[in-house]
Structure 1
Amino acid sequence: MANPWTGEAEVRIDDVSYVCKLTLGALAELEGGLGEGSLIDLIRRFEGGAFSSRDVMAVVVAGLRGGGWQGTADDLMSAEIAGGPVGAAQLAATLLARAFAPPA
């Protein structure tokens, strides 16, 4: 079970639950994979609703890896993420929010 107070969120992928967390290492990996811009640019895209599916995938993969998952984005290409694209986008936004602010 995920602990939001420590920045964790839970996701179901192919009917298996995983804990996700944007650790410092996961954030560094995420920022390195963005190619251009910074995490602040990424957060602004999410806040403004201008994020891409690539942004969502990058955040979800980073969160999974921060939670101990050993996979890659390629492993998720045919996976069923609970809630579909909207669920994945909500997970990504939640992970970013929890990484930089305590839960309300």
Structure 2
Amino acid sequence: MVNPMAGEVALVLDGERRVLKLTLGALAELEEALGAESLVALVERFETGGFRARDVMALLLAGLHGGGHPLPASALLGAEIEGGAVEAARVAGLLLARAFNPAGAAG
């Protein structure tokens, strides 16, 4: 069961439903992975549609780690994501939205 108020989002990888969450540690991992100056800059990239595939993958990986799934990046790169790239981008954006405003992030 996904709890949106706790910032959780579901994603199906290789046929298995997983709960993702951006904890503080996962956010720090995300900043490091993307070399981001700030998380605000990353949020702005998603809001304006200027995000890259690398951003999506880093967000999903950080969310998996925050959700208690310690997958290596190579496992995510080779995984089958139900819904493909569109679903991956949707989940990544929703993760960001729920990390900073769980009450206002529907979806």
Task: Classify the secondary structure of the residue corresponding to 1:57.
Answer: helix
C-alpha offsets along residues 60-104 of structure 1, whole Å, 9 cap, x if unaligned?
A: 000000000111221111211111000000000000000000233
Q: TM-score, normalised by structure 1?
A: 0.95
Task: Classify the secondary structure of the residue corresponding to 1:11.
Answer: strand
Task: Classify the secondary structure of the residue corresponding to 1:103.
Answer: helix
Task: Give the aligned partner of residue 59 of structure 2.
Answer: 59
Alignment of 1:1-104 (within 5 A): 1-104=1-104
One-letter identity of the residue aligned with 1:38 = S
One-letter identity of the residue aligned with 1:35 = G
Counterpart CA distance in 2 for 1:96 and 1:102 is 9
Q: TM-score, normalised by structure 2?
A: 0.93
Contact 2:36 2:42 in 1 (8 A): no
Number of positions where the alignment pairs a residue of Structure 1 with one of Structure 2: 104
- Identity between Structure 1 and Structure 2 (%): 55
- Runs of 4 or more off by more than 3 Å in structure 1? none
